Structure 1
Amino acid sequence: MTDTVEKVDYSSTLYLPQTDFPMRAGLPQKEPETVARWQKMDLYKRLRASAAGREKFVLHDGPPYANGNIHIGHALNKILKDVINRSFQMRGYDANYVPGWDCHGLPIEWKIEEKYRAKGKNKDEVPVNEFRQECRDFAADWIKIQAEEFKRLGIEGDFDNPYTTMNFHAEARIAGELLKIARSGQLYRGSKPIMWSVVERTALAEAEVEYHEVESDTIWVKFPVQMLQVERESGKSDLLEASVVIWTTTPWTIPGNRAISYSSRYPYGLYEVTAAENDFGPQPGEKLIFATRLAEECAAKAKVTLALVRSVESSELAAITCAHPLAALGYTFQVPLLDGDHVTDDAGTGFVHTAPSHGREDFDAWMDRARDLEARGISSKIPFTVDDAGFYTDEAPGFGPDAEGGAARVMDDDGKKGDANKRVIEALIAANNLFARGRIKHDYPHSWRSKKPIIFRNTPQWFVYMDKNLDDQTTLRSRSLSAIDDTRFVPASGQNRLRAMIEGRPDWVLSRQRAWGVPIAIFADDKGEILVDEAVNARILEAFEAEGADAWFAEGARERFLGGRSNEPWIQVMDILDVWFDSGSTHTFTLEDRPDLKWPADVYLEGSDQHRGWFHSSLLESCATRGRAPYNAVVTHGFIMDEKGEKMSKSKGNVTAPQDVMKDSGADILRLWVMTSDYSEDLRVGKSIIQTNIDSYRKIRNTVRWMLGTLAHDKGEEIAYGDMPELEKLMLHRLAELDRLVREGYDAFEFKRITRALIDFTNIELSAFYFDIRKDALYCDAPSSLRRRAALAVIRRIFDCLVAWFAPMLVFTMEEAWLSRYPDAESVHLEQFPEVPAKWLNPDLDAKWAKIKKVRTVVTGALEVERREKRIGSSLEASPVIHINDPALVKVLDGLDLADICITSGVTIATDEGPAEAFRLADIPTVAVEPKLAEGTKCARSWKITADVGSDPQYPDVSARDAAALRELAQQD
């Protein structure tokens, strides 16, 4: 009969997907159009208007420097922030994002100086405010460029009214915060060894330093014992014939030596040289003192043999005073031995060369004993042996300006090693006090801007006390530690990291010897006493508000601000504030002063280096002036490496630029990479990783596209939950589960968890399961079919949820999808996450279908073998026999259309083990499948093979189901 039936094309009678939403995304072309559309409609203002009256959620933006195009780290940072803001906005908050820029400091000043040097100009010859204006213009230009690059990433925020640290109001507020600290007695002028950039001629903070491996001179130096406070009972101590040996990797600091540190925790010994094989250094008969554990290692360095004479007690070491090894050059002071906790016996000699001008621990050890030293007749004055250019001063006899050959230099203007080490070592050899010398590779601090080594040098600077007792019996340190305890950290390890830094940090050095920035706008006398005069302060702040910080450097500024006190001997401080103080103060003129924000912020989010940077300085500034942190939570992301886990560098050619990714693939691909990465660790990126995300994106897009095509036939009919088939109820259960996961995930900033769950849902539960099963009903069922109508209602819900949940992440694609579905809508980003009824949660149904899916898995596996062996093409050619040796499982399957679920033309259930040759899966031992061929005729409309094809004489080439559908469709026409 079927041979004589005329073939009919039934494709027009099927509810096939219809959509203009293209399979090929074309993101590089479409995304800029979307950005332009958002700007034209002023999406930012629409968002603010739609959120009016809601609870505010504020993520305060950590300011990037305005000094170049954005890099992949910027992209990571801004995408994370944008996703957070959008997710809170779409969950009932007013999540206003105000971008900001750090505009002061060396990164920008250095660029202008480079331009000057290229023209052979000296910045010091240019009027300071003229130079500052060039810095301001430079920053303003880069703000515009970076803002456009951020917008291209899909970042939404108040780019028309951002905050900048060089805004006049901001500069006034920064100065005002400093004056608060000065007024409270927390600011002081002191002399301490600080990190100093010879190349940049300024002090540096820890956050401005990075470490690189260098090879350095290393020396072992003899300090002859000069006297003992208490001699041994024998009358003359044998220690007076000995020398204490120290080890250092900075020979140039020897002129700054004022003490030797040891540890009473370790054993020491007096040793005699019994043999020597060296061109210089110790000779037989010399006596030397070492930590017992290190003596043999030191002997090998000097090519000598040592014999232990006796042990040396800690009390004896405490009684020793040595001569300086360069005493012959004028270093005639006494060098005491100090017991120090920082001394170890795992390297060196067990004695630490202590130069309080050149190291924090050295400084602390020296100052802790200052009173005792003075009582012993030893001056506690700390010398200034090295100037700002790295030259020795006249406080370094034999190496300063009056020395033969002029002043030795530690480092030159290009950051290269000067002649200081060489000249010090030669002088030690001449004095017969060099025990040994060598070279060592070790990590050494460098300025992260100039990439050149720095030095530690003692200079007068302005500091904020960490441990001064404040009016409320707290200190800045205790306030900060308490604030850390009250702050949520994501990941939690950030809390311990910041706590350790605060616990161990020295006083905060605020002063920089630069030109571009907010000045330390105070007056002080020659002893460092600060003028506290509210009338003077008011004039300063009023001028800054109107003219910016340039007012401080204008001609006549001293007289203007001091007013009637200008005849008093107050000195106008010309140092610039540490740029970290600027950024640490942003919460004041942004969160406090903008009515569309609030203080404190809900979240600060930056890279892990900001535990010693912005998180750190913001904490200190706010605790100093307000007694608490300016944030409730701190979220930290890692750094970005290449695909091999190596640091990116232009020289290696392994840099991934966000501009290139956007040009080639689109910003949504970059955003998806961020969302699928564990941002709490260091991230990797490169071509293959980007390609993996392109593949994931295509699957998401195709799922959305299929839903859009299917929903073209949706009339918006609502189906009562109780009337829905089980499969639809199962999908609503999964939506309810996902709704909880998504909301909790956005609250916890766990974007990878959300993305993984949503991608798995689209790929595994939708495309490979639910949609696969329901395609037959959706395409072929009659218009009145409950199964079809219920599926459409559920897919409508799935679409709305998925697109909304993905919208904060894939901002461009989900906007395109939403407008394709709802052409009269303004933007998906003006929507809220759909409300998902709790009654949809049905764990019992989920457990039941987990068993059904196992059966389906065995059937799918069996049919896959048949396809591979080319015994069948489509699964509809099969009508398998499913053997189930589990009565409980058989009961679960009762009443289900397993052929529909397995996408076959028929299914037979047998309650037995099945033949030995049947297909089985090891982890589902009670199910076996015989992949039989379907019997009957292939339906010309649905392609199912059934026995009822031709049962309806009006439609002789289709099944009874399809015939009924065709008749109903014909009646509608």
Structure 2
Amino acid sequence: MTDTPDSPRDWRDTVFLPKTDFPMKAGLAAKEPAILERWAKIGLYGKLREARAGRERFLLHDGPPYANGDIHMGHAMNKILKDIVVRSQTLLGKDAPYVPGWDCHGLPIEWKVEEAYRAKKLNKDEVDPVAFRAECRAYAEKWVGVQRGQFERLGIMGDWDTPYLTMNYQSEAIIVGELLKFAESGQVYRGAKPVMWSPVEKTALAEAEVEYEDVVSTQIDVAFEITEAPNAPELVGAHAVIWTTTPWTIPVNQALAYGPEVSYRVCRVGEPRDGRDSSPLRDQRILVATELWESVAARIGSSLIPEGEVKGSDLSGAIARHPMHHLGGFFAKPRPFLAGDFVTTDAGTGLVHMAPDHGEDDFLLCKAHGIDPVFAVDGAGMYRPDWLWLGGQGSVINKKFVASDGPICTDLREAGALLAASDDFAHSYPHSWRSKAKIIFRATPQWFIPMDRSATGDLPGADRTVEIGAQSAPPLSSPIGRGRGPLGEAEWEGEGSESRLPSPRAAAQLAPLPTGEGNNGATLRAIALDAIETTRWVPERSRNRIRSMVEGRPDWVISRQRAWGVPIALYVNRATGDYLRDPEVNARILQAFTTGGADAWFQADHQALLGEKYTLADYEVITDILDVWFDSGSTHAFVMEARYGQDARADLYLEGSDQHRGWFQSSLLESCGTRGQAPYKAVLTHGFALDGNGRKMSKSLGNVVDPLKIIGESGADILRLWVAQTDYFEDVRIGKEVLAGTGDTYRKLRNTFRYLLGALEGFEESERVAVAEMPELERYILAKLAELDAELKAAANDFEFNRYSRALTDFANEDLSAFFFDIRKDSLYCDAPSDPKRRAYRTMLDTLFHALVRYAAPILSFTAEEVWQARFPSEDGSVHLLDWPVLPEGAATTADWSAIRALRQTVTEAIEPYRREKKVRSSLEAEVTVPDLPASGADLAELFIVSKVEQGADVTVTPTERLKCGRCWRHLPEIVEDGALCDRCAGVVK
């Protein structure tokens, strides 16, 4: 503007305002892809490996996501957290490579390929297995490519050119090699026992493949007539009553269990109650637990008249007959009463029907009395065609089939044995997490790794003495509530439902493994529990969770009856039932897998693999595949050891809390079984991503928050900052409101960097001021920066990035923007460039810039790069090649800055009403009194940004009568005419 004789001079062109092209509006969604392209062009990951070569190594081993479908918020949260860990450890100066990987085998992929077959009305079983496996491989390859691009878009830095895949030939060879290590040391057996089975997917499932959902089931009370009772002859003719929520197990019943210490009451069935027309077994006697007879009466809707009591031990030797005994054959056989220490009076009837095909306790108890499974239910959940009752019918998980008006209950009712049936029993029930269908317990021949038997021969770690009382663990109840009292919600609470899984003592009833020399009997369970104690768990409470799971878990079911996976490459002698343990044969198997992958087993000349010592006709070739958890549990062998040396162990495993029963545990068991130690030194567990209302995300609820959509709209750095800000050790929320808060935090940080870039425009080394020559305020901020530095280092090493990001943002907002920058803007704008105070301030800003951009880089990886390039543009440079900042020393100050800042806050609050009432337009127009002046000699008027500070009885505010400088706008005593220049400004302008 042009000055006129009547208007004051406009001094704006003499003020040194910050200058920068760095935009306030981020535009991350558009900028980030270009930054990614630049990183790829300069080979940033390779440059880092070269720069960090020879330094202390930090190995985070990536748990493999499944190669199936687009990534979801759980994937994004997990990968971002891993990237923040890796980048922070790199910043701390370590060599921290990151090798991403994928789990490529297993049922979900096979299921998708089968769906395509079914759509074409083709039968998968009629297709050549190698051709089918090739289609599964192609499907996995497709999704590996899709997910790779999506993970890279999140800013995840790693070896994307050579990731690890469980379906790579080398990986498959090492996986089968790990299996053969277990086999050679005698840690594998084949046995028929109940396992979790999916009738929909027609395969056994591992604990980690099961989730629990609330269901409503049919509950029934069934009467078994007692035909013999040598210790209580008065019971002959009475009916023992059992209760179950799985009616489909009644056709496979073989015995009844009682509690030896339980008291039982004989009751006569009386008049019907509750408006019922009749009472089953009217005027006949029934036997139930004394504590439960009233609840039984309520369920059957009849009065019960007590007639006597017997002890549980009196039932020893008693015999009952099956309600369908008239069918003959299997159903005509006597049903013995067996003493069971698992029988309780919590609910039900105090008597439990035993079906060794379908319950762990049932199996053990019956096995001990010479009663074997009969395999009546096939893999699809149907009764086999030759079964006398309901042969060829099912499926047993079909609600209509087992309902109170279904064929099972109808036949029992006609036989006069159904006392009660209702379709209203609400409880939690196991489902396959893939198909979401109910599972059953089903006895099938499977391959197992035992938890409680020591290995044959020299096992790594077996020479240690481990005294952990896992072998004495009590038998646990069936997770289906099939033959005993209902399992209430307390017994199924959250992820803790693993405690209801089968008893670890199951293997004890099978043929024992040979005892080798060179070990002291340390079992896999004991070695694993010992390894848990020597591992760092973050948070610490997660140690208890995995310990309880390993203490109570059953033997590891490692076989699956599917096609897409690594085969259990064993030969079983048809005469003895033993599998072949020959190192020379195993070496040939490994060579075949190395050359042709797992397909080699299905195309092999098995006689050539066996060699001249053995005849193929004498051996069964096993074609079951390995549990995919064995695949992923072996990744430490073909990633950590194969890439970084035989003794390499991961410094950190980092996954969601569900992996305590999944990858954390399978990796632990695999490594402990083959190496005698855990494959990791530390394990970090994070929670799950929920919607903004704290609900689990579900397509049916329409509350899924898509990370790809967030990236496309707001950029990956917003998502990365959200992850860092959450308390990720717990479940976390994400939604519009949450992300809006994250966006606000991001904008404040971005504006901090924008201010630094503008304020440092043209800064040169000749301008730098030594710390000792700086004013107290600069030295105080340097001391605060040193405190932040120590806090961030500690948080990074503790993997606490919520703490890290909070400390960083608090420093930027409270110590810098609201305090240091606010006070020193006058000096920056108005002091002469040569003024020592302005030079000291700019020197401190340079120190802050170099520190803050590094601190932010692990979290805001794109923005930090943009900030760095804005000040130091380079074709091949990057902020991510830098080390942790080294701060200048000598920051000690004598002022009590805590007191000064507290007083400054009080003064600011006192001025605010004057601003609202427009008695002053800015704090510069105020004069204040304060009760105590700090002894530091600091210029309080400058620190408080007011006209004058004097000592008084209290904090008071008065509008100043001093005139305003036309350039710096401070109200000072030397100004004699409004708009004229103060002495400082006059000198600068001159």
What TM-score do you get using the length of structure 2 for normalisation?
0.90
Provide the residue aligned with 1:759 in structure 2.
Answer: 809
Superposition deviation, residue 718 in structure 1: 3.5
Picking from 817, 839, 854, the partner of 1:789 is 839
SS at match of 1:675: helix
Alpha-carbon spacing, 1:340–1:806, altered in 2? closer, same or farther (3 Å) = farther
SS at match of 2:143: helix
SS at match of 2:554: coil
Is 1:779 aligned to residue 829 of structure 2? Answer: yes
Superposition deviation, residue 692 in structure 1: 1.0
Q: Distance in 2 between matches of 1:508 and 1:115?
A: 32
User: Could you give the per-residue CA deviations for residues 699-736 of structure 1, whole angstroms, max 9, x where no partner exists?
Assistant: 11001110111011422344332222221121111111
Q: Distance in 2 between matches of 1:938 and 1:179?
A: 87
Please tell me the residue identity of whatever aligns with 1:315. S
Q: Distance in 2 between matches of 1:679 and 1:78?
A: 13
Provide the residue aligned with 1:829 in structure 2.
Answer: 880
Picking from 540, 553, 560, the partner of 1:492 is 540
Alpha-carbon spacing, 1:841–1:627, altered in 2? closer, same or farther (3 Å) = farther
Picking from 924, 929, 945, the partner of 1:903 is 945
Superposition deviation, residue 263 in structure 1: 3.2
- Trace 1:51-130 onto structure 2 (pairs within 5 A): 51-130=52-131
Provide the residue aligned with 2:419 in structure 1.
Answer: 435
SS at match of 2:256: strand
Superposition deviation, residue 561 in structure 1: 1.8
SS at match of 2:927: coil
Superposition deviation, residue 218 in structure 1: 1.1
Superposition deviation, residue 956 in structure 1: 8.2
Picking from 669, 678, 688, the partner of 1:620 is 669
Please tell me the residue identity of whatever aligns with 1:423. P
Provide the residue aligned with 2:468 in structure 1.
Answer: none
User: Could you give the per-residue CA deviations for residues 802-845 of structure 1, whole angstroms, max 9, x where no partner exists?
Assistant: 11111100100011111112224711110011023575466x75
Provide the residue aligned with 1:931 in structure 2.
Answer: 957
Picking from 800, 803, 812, the partner of 2:850 is 800
Q: Distance in 1 between matches of 2:403 and 2:629?
A: 32
Provide the residue aligned with 1:523 in structure 2.
Answer: 571
Question: For the Cα contact (< 8 Å) 1:258–1:354, is it kept in 2?
Answer: yes
Superposition deviation, residue 130 in structure 1: 0.7
Q: Distance in 1 between matches of 2:988 and 2:261?
A: 93
Q: Distance in 2 between matches of 1:777 and 1:188?
A: 80
Question: For the Cα contact (< 8 Å) 1:935–1:947, is it kept in 2?
Answer: no
Q: Distance in 2 between matches of 1:719 and 1:731?
A: 15
Superposition deviation, residue 319 in structure 1: 4.2
Please tell me the residue identity of whatever aligns with 1:895. G
Q: Distance in 2 between matches of 1:334 and 1:788?
A: 100
Please tell me the residue identity of whatever aligns with 1:859. V
My pick for the range that moved more, 440-449 or 613-622, is 440-449
SS at match of 1:272: strand
Question: For the Cα contact (< 8 Å) 1:280–1:429, is it kept in 2?
Answer: no
Question: For the Cα contact (< 8 Å) 2:63–2:654, is it kept in 1?
Answer: yes
Please tell me the residue identity of whatever aligns with 1:363. F
Is 1:587 aligned to residue 675 of structure 2? Answer: no
Please tell me the residue identity of whatever aligns with 2:681. N
SS at match of 1:53: coil
Superposition deviation, residue 416 in structure 1: 6.6
Alpha-carbon spacing, 1:280–1:513, altered in 2? closer, same or farther (3 Å) = farther
Q: Distance in 2 between matches of 1:208 and 1:187?
A: 21
Q: Distance in 1 between matches of 2:715 and 2:544?
A: 38
Superposition deviation, residue 346 in structure 1: 2.5
Provide the residue aligned with 1:257 in structure 2.
Answer: 253
Is 1:946 aligned to residue 969 of structure 2? Answer: no
User: Could you give the per-residue CA deviations for residues 34-78 of structure 1, whole angstroms, max 9, x where no partner exists?
Assistant: 000000001010010010001110000000111111111100000
Provide the residue aligned with 2:984 in structure 1.
Answer: 961
Q: Distance in 2 between matches of 1:4 and 1:585?
A: 86
SS at match of 2:337: strand
SS at match of 2:296: helix
Q: Distance in 2 between matches of 1:340 and 1:12?
A: 94
Superposition deviation, residue 326 in structure 1: 2.2
Provide the residue aligned with 1:382 in structure 2.
Answer: 373
- Trace 1:24-35 onto structure 2 (pairs within 5 A): 24-35=25-36
Is 1:466 aligned to residue 451 of structure 2? Answer: yes
SS at match of 1:365: helix
Alpha-carbon spacing, 1:894–1:801, altered in 2? closer, same or farther (3 Å) = closer
Question: For the Cα contact (< 8 Å) 1:262–1:352, is it kept in 2?
Answer: yes
My pick for the range that moved more, 593-602 or 131-140, is 593-602
Alpha-carbon spacing, 1:666–1:324, altered in 2? closer, same or farther (3 Å) = same
Question: For the Cα contact (< 8 Å) 1:328–1:431, is it kept in 2?
Answer: no
Please tell me the residue identity of whatever aligns with 1:642. D
User: Could you give the per-residue CA deviations for residues 735-785 of structure 1, whole angstroms, max 9, x where no partner exists?
Assistant: 111111101101111110111111111111111111111111111112232
Provide the residue aligned with 2:467 in structure 1.
Answer: none
Q: Distance in 2 between matches of 1:594 and 1:474?
A: 30
Is 1:409 aligned to residue 394 of structure 2? Answer: yes
Question: For the Cα contact (< 8 Å) 2:401–2:407, is it kept in 1?
Answer: no
Q: Distance in 2 between matches of 1:193 and 1:112?
A: 29
Alpha-carbon spacing, 1:57–1:314, altered in 2? closer, same or farther (3 Å) = same
Identity of aligned residues (%): 50
User: Could you give the per-residue CA deviations for residues 147-195 of structure 1, whole angstroms, max 9, x where no partner exists?
Assistant: 1111100000000000000000000000111111111111111001111
Superposition deviation, residue 340 in structure 1: 3.2
* Gaps in structure 2 of 5+ consecutive residues: 458-518
SS at match of 1:931: strand
Provide the residue aligned with 1:922 in structure 2.
Answer: none
Question: For the Cα contact (< 8 Å) 1:198–1:390, is it kept in 2?
Answer: yes
SS at match of 2:529: helix
SS at match of 2:618: coil
Picking from 888, 895, 898, the partner of 1:850 is 898
Is 1:306 aligned to residue 356 of structure 2? Answer: no
SS at match of 1:55: coil
Alpha-carbon spacing, 1:524–1:653, altered in 2? closer, same or farther (3 Å) = same
Q: Distance in 2 between matches of 1:839 and 1:202?
A: 68
User: Could you give the per-residue CA deviations for residues 418-454 of structure 1, whole angstroms, max 9, x where no partner exists?
Assistant: 4698222222222211121112122221111111112
Superposition deviation, residue 504 in structure 1: 0.8
Question: For the Cα contact (< 8 Å) 1:188–1:528, is it kept in 2?
Answer: no
Provide the residue aligned with 2:474 in structure 1.
Answer: none
Alpha-carbon spacing, 1:428–1:411, altered in 2? closer, same or farther (3 Å) = closer
Superposition deviation, residue 553 in structure 1: 0.9
Q: Distance in 1 between matches of 2:249 and 2:82?
A: 46
User: Could you give the per-residue CA deviations for residues 848-884 of structure 1, whole angstroms, max 9, x where no partner exists?
Assistant: 21111121111101111111112111111111222x1
Provide the residue aligned with 2:497 in structure 1.
Answer: none
Picking from 770, 783, 790, the partner of 1:740 is 790
Question: For the Cα contact (< 8 Å) 2:606–2:616, is it kept in 1?
Answer: no
Q: Distance in 2 between matches of 1:325 and 1:557?
A: 53
Please tell me the residue identity of whatever aligns with 2:780. L
Q: Distance in 2 between matches of 1:318 and 1:494?
A: 45
Q: Distance in 1 between matches of 2:263 and 2:968?
A: 91
Please tell me the residue identity of whatever aligns with 1:399. L
Please tell me the residue identity of whatever aligns with 2:525. R
Provide the residue aligned with 1:273 in structure 2.
Answer: 269
Question: For the Cα contact (< 8 Å) 2:261–2:313, is it kept in 1?
Answer: no
Superposition deviation, residue 119 in structure 1: 1.5
My pick for the range that moved more, 789-798 or 569-578, is 789-798
* Gaps in structure 1 of 5+ consecutive residues: 232-236, 374-378, 401-406, 913-927, 968-973
Q: Distance in 2 between matches of 1:8 and 1:116?
A: 85
Q: Distance in 2 between matches of 1:327 and 1:101?
A: 54
Alpha-carbon spacing, 1:41–1:417, altered in 2? closer, same or farther (3 Å) = farther
Q: Distance in 2 between matches of 1:57 and 1:610?
A: 22
SS at match of 2:332: coil
Q: Distance in 1 between matches of 2:279 and 2:602?
A: 56
Is 1:425 aligned to residue 409 of structure 2? Answer: yes
Q: Distance in 2 between matches of 1:238 and 1:265?
A: 19
My pick for the range that moved more, 23-32 or 292-301, is 292-301
Superposition deviation, residue 366 in structure 1: 3.0
Q: Distance in 2 between matches of 1:312 and 1:730?
A: 84
SS at match of 1:94: coil
RMSD of Structure 2 on Structure 1 (CA) = 2.1
Question: For the Cα contact (< 8 Å) 2:218–2:403, is it kept in 1?
Answer: no
Question: For the Cα contact (< 8 Å) 1:736–1:837, is it kept in 2?
Answer: no
SS at match of 1:879: strand
Question: For the Cα contact (< 8 Å) 1:950–1:958, is it kept in 2?
Answer: no
Superposition deviation, residue 270 in structure 1: 2.2
